[in-house]
Amino acid sequence: MEVRRDPRQFLFFIILLLLINSPEPQNPGFNTRSRYDEVIDREWEQLDILNRTIWGDFDAKEKKWLNVTGLREQDAFTWDVLGDVKSRARERMRGVLGERAQGWLDGRNPEGNKETVYRNISGFVQGEWVQSPLSRTRPALDLLNTTGHIHMESQLGEFDRNLTGSHGMVRLHLTEVDGRQRTDDNRTTSELKAKVVIGDADSWGDNWWEFSLNGVHYPEFGGAVLTTTSERFAGIFALPHLQLSPHLYTSSQELLNRTIHQTIQNQLERPFPVWNPWSSAVEGAAEGVMAVSHCEFILYLQEAPVQFLDRHGQPFKQPDVDWLEHEIRYPTGANIPLHSQMAMDMVGFSPDCGFVFESKGPPDFPPSEAMHLLGSKSEEFNNDAKRSILAFAVTLAVQLMFIIRQAKEAATPSTRNRISFYTIAMMALGDGFMFLALVFLHLFLGTSQLQLYTIAFLALFSVVLELRFLMDIWTVQVTEQMRQDRQQASTTPPSPQPPSTPNPPATTPRAPPPSSDTLPVPATAAQPQTTPTPSPPVILAPDQDDPADNEPLLPTTNNPTPTTPTTTSLRAELGALYSRYCFLLIVTFFITLQFTTMRSTARAFYFNTLCFLYLSFWLPQIYRNIMRNCRKALRWDFVLGQSLVRLVPIAYFYAVEGNILFSRTDLQGLAVLAGWLWLQIVVLAAQEVLGSRFFVPPSWAPPAYDYHPVLREDEEGATMPIGASAPLTEEESAESRSKGRKVFDCSICATDIEVPVIPAGGGGPDVQGLGGLTLQRRAYMVTPCRHIFHTACLEGWMRYRLQCPNCREVLPPL
C-alpha cells in the first residue's frame, strides 16, 4: 500500500527556512556603542553650527562653505546650481500667488491676510515631472567621488534614485506633524514629512524609487522645503540655508533648533540606538557604510489656492478655508461646498547628482496636457477609500449569493459531476488571495482597519463555502473515476491460472434447482425447513439511482464496518488537496509582494498575467464539457454574475485614476481582460446551443455517447428509437415521410415528439446547415437503450437519476 506523507510538514519546513534565512535589522556589531556616540556627537556639532550661522554663510559661488556633511568643498556637490534653482522656485511661487509672493518671502504681509490654502496639507498629490534646463549631467566617476566609498561603488556602476531620463511620474504622500513642539507659537511654520514615489520613464524597465524627506511648511502661504538626510548629506541641518529668503531662513532656523534638539534627546533616551531619525529609507532603517549610495533630493513646494465651485462648476469667492478644513477633518454634518483638488507646484534638485526637475503644467505646458501635482487631503482620501471598500463588500455579498445558489442547484451527484473542479478551485484561490490582501491592506492605507477586517471576513466565508463545494464535487468525481476503473478492470480478461484442486462439496443439504422442463412447486405444498436468510436492505444512492446499477450490494451484518483502505486514501487525498491549496495561495501571495517592489514594466507584466490567468476560470469548465460531452453544468445567472462581480474590482484598479492603491490606469489592458472573459462566456453559450464539441475535431476528444444522434430509417444505423406513437394512416405516413419527420412518445411528459428523420433513400433536411438538423436535433434525446424523450424532460430527470425512465438501464453522464 502506498504511504502518503503529510504535506503540512513540508510547508512548515519551508516557512521555517524562510524565517531562518530572513535578514534581521541589526547594526554593525564591532564597537557599536562608541560609533553611536560619535554619531550623536556629530549631530550636536552640526546643530551648534546651525545655531551660530546666519543667512549668506553658505554660498558655493562665493566659496563660502560650512563644516556640515555635504556642505564642505571636498564633498564635491554641485552647489553652484543652488542659486538658479532658488530663482526658479521663486518664479514658480510668483506664478501661483502673484504679487503677494514677494511679501511672503520678505515677511511684509499683514498678519490677518492669509492665502486661501490648507493649513494642514496631510494627504497626497501626484502628477508628472520633466527635466529642467538647469540640470547637469555628471560622469559616473564624478558621482563616485562624492560617496567616499569608491572601491565599493565602482562595482555597482550606477547610483540609486538617479533620474537620467527626461520625464516620469511622481507622487508625494505628505504628513503634517501635529503637536506644539513641532510648530512655532504663531503656527507660521510647522514640521513636514513626505514619502516620495518617483519613476523614470526613460530608464530600462521604467524604474522607480521610494524614499522619505523631512522639512518645514509655511501654513500661511502654502510653501514648503524638504530634504533627504544621510551620512553623506546632513540635509536637515542645512535646511535653513536652502530657504528662498532671509525671513524664511530665520523662521526655519528657530523651528529646527527646537525640533532637532528634541530629536537628539529622544535618541539618547531610547534603549536601542537610532542611527538616523531623518533617514530617507522608507522602512526607517539606518543607512550604514555598506548601503548602496543614492542621489540626495531637495524639494520646493508651493500649494495653489483652493477654489470653491458652484453647482455648475464655476468658481466663486469663498474665503473661509479654515471652516472648510475643520469640517473635513472633524465633520459635523454641515454641507461642504464643491471645491478644487489640492494642487501644488514642485521644483526638485539633487545636490550630488546635479539634476533638476519640475512638475509638468502651465505655463510651460497646456492645462489639457498636465496640471502639475493634484490630489486630496487625507480625510477626503479616507472617505473615498471607505466608499470603495463598501462597494467591494457589495460585490462580495453578490458573489456569495451566486455561489450559494449554484451549490443548492448542484445538490445531486449527477449535477456535481458536470462541474469542473478547477473552475471552482480558481475562484476559491482568487478569494483566498483577496482575503490575505485585505488583512494586510491597512498597513498600506493606514486607515479603515475595521472595515477592511469586516470585508476580509466576508472573503474568508466565501473561501470556506467554496472549499466545501469543492469537497463535494471532488468526492463525486473521484468516486465515479474509481467506479470506472473497477469496470475496466472487470472487463479485462483474466490471465490464465494453473489448475487447482476443487474444494469439497458442502455438507449442507440444498434444494435442487428447478429444471426447465418441470413446473414450479405449488404455493400450498410443504416447504423444506431451512433457516431463513434475511434479505439485504435496499439502499438508495444519493442521486436516487438503484445501487445495483452502479456496484453490487454486499450483505450487511450487525458488526461495525471497519475503515477500508479506500476510505483512508480518500481522506488522505482530500487532506492533500487542502494542503496544496494553502501552499499555492501562500506562494502566490509572497511572489506578488516581491513583484510590488520591482520595476514598473515587470510589475505591470506580472499583474496583467496574474489577472489574465485569474479571469480564465471558465476554461476548465469548457474543457470538461468537451471531454465529457456534457452541457448545462452551471446556472447562467451564476456564469454571468460571477463574471461581472469578479471583473468589477479589476476594472476599478485598471480604469479609476484615484484608486486607493494608486495603480496606473490601463484601459487597453482592461479591454483585453474583459474581451477574454466575454469570449469564454460566448463559448459556453455556444456549447449549450450547438453542442459541447461543435468546434473540436472528433480525433481530439475521447469517444462519448451522443444523446442527439441523427435519426435514419435504414436498419444498418440501428439508431431508430423504440416506442413510436400510434400507427399512422397511409396518407399521414406519406405526408410525414415527405416532410422527413416521425412521431414518437415521451414517457416522461406523456406527449408526442415530432423529430426529423432521414429517409433510407437519402434526401431529407440539410444535416450540416445551422437551420437544419444541427439545431432541430437538440429538441430530443435518445438513450443507449433506444428510448426517446424531450430534451428538457430527460435533462430534468437525469439531474436526479442516471437511469432510463422506461427500462431502468444505467445512462452515461450528460
The confidence score (pLDDT) of residue 731 equals: 54
Give the single-character DSSP code of 180: G
What residue type is assigned to position 785 of the chain? C
Residue 130 DSSP SS3: strand
Kindly state the percentage of the chain with pLDDT values over 90.
36
HSE (side-chain half, CA atoms, 13 Å) at 332: 6
Burial (CB < 10 A; 0-12, 13-18, 19+), residue 798, is buried
- The contacts of residue 496 (CB under 8 Å, 6+ apart) are none
| Spatial separation of the C-alpha atoms in residues 651 and 656, rounded to whole Å | 8
Amino acid 33: pLDDT: 73
Between the alpha carbon of residue 10 and those of residues 337, 588, 736, the distances in Å are 59, 17, 70
Task: Round to whole Å and give the CA distance between 59 and 83.
Answer: 9
Q: Does pTM surpass 0.85?
A: no
**Angle formed by the axes of helices 378-409 and 321-329, to 10°?**
40
Report the alpha-carbon distance of residue 706 to residue 717 in Å, rounded: 14
**Cα(289)–Cα(292) distance, rounded to whole angstroms?**
8
Q: Which of 623, 792, 780 is nearest to 693 (CA)?
A: 623
Give me the count of residues in the chain: 814
* β-strands 356-359, 711-712 pairing: unpaired
**Amino acid letter at 792?**
A
* 374: enclosing H helix or E strand: strand 373-377
Q: Name the residue type at position 295.
A: C
The per-residue pLDDT for 152 is: 40
Contact of 733 with 726, CB cutoff 8 Å: no
Residue 100 CB contacts under 8 Å (≥ 6 apart), including other chains: 109, 115, 221
CB atoms within 10 A of CB 547: 12
**Cell 508625494 -> residue:** 172
**If you ran DSSP here, which 8-state letter would residue 81 be given?**
G
| Alpha carbons 746 and 432: distance in angstroms, whole number | 47
Which residues have C-beta within 8 Å of that of residue 560, sequence separation ≥ 6?
none
d(CA 218, CA 252): 9
Q: Are 690 and 774 in contact (CB under 8 A)?
A: yes
Residue type, 67: N
CA 305, CA 324: separation in Å to the nearest integer?
Answer: 13
- Tell me which amino acid residue 457 is: F
Q: Residue 290: which residues within 8 A CB-CB, separation 6 or more? A: 152
Residue 35, phi then psi, degrees to nearest 5: -70, -35
Chain-centroid distance, C-alpha 117:
38
pLDDT computed for residue 403 by the predictor:
93
Residues 6+ apart with CB under 8 A from 18: none
pLDDT of residue 171: 94
- Using only C-alpha atoms, the chain has a radius of gyration, in whole angstroms, of 40
State how far the Cα of 307 lies from the Cα of 374, in Å rounded to an integer.
Answer: 13
Instruction: Give the pLDDT score at 319.
Output: 60
496-516 pLDDT per residue, tens: 555 544 454 444 444 444 433
Give pLDDT, residue 435.
92
- Residue 641 pLDDT: 94
**Residue 466: is it exposed, middle or buried by C-beta count within 10 angstroms (0-12/13-18/19+)?**
buried
Contact assessment for residue 610 and residue 592, using Cβ atoms and an 8 Å cutoff: yes
**Would you tell me how many other CB atoms lie within 10 Å of the CB of residue 224?**
25
Residue 635 CA to chain centroid, in angstroms? Answer: 25
Using DSSP, state whether 120 is helix, strand or coil: coil
Q: Exposed e or buried b for every residue in 331-366, given b needs 16+ CB within 10 A?
A: eeeeeeeebebbbbbbbbbbbbbbbbbbbbbeeeee
Low-confidence ranges of the chain (pLDDT < 50): 1-5, 24-30, 148-157, 284-286, 289-290, 500-502, 504-563, 715-717, 728, 732, 764-771
| Cell digits of residue 634 | 452551471
Classify residue 159 by its DSSP letter: -
The three-class DSSP label of residue 183 is strand
Q: What is the 3-state secondary structure (H, E, C) of 160-181?
A: ECCCCCCEEEEEEEEEECCCHH
Query: 52-111, pLDDT tens digit by residue?
Result: 999 999 999 889 999 999 999 888 899 999 999 999 999 999 999 998 899 999 988 766
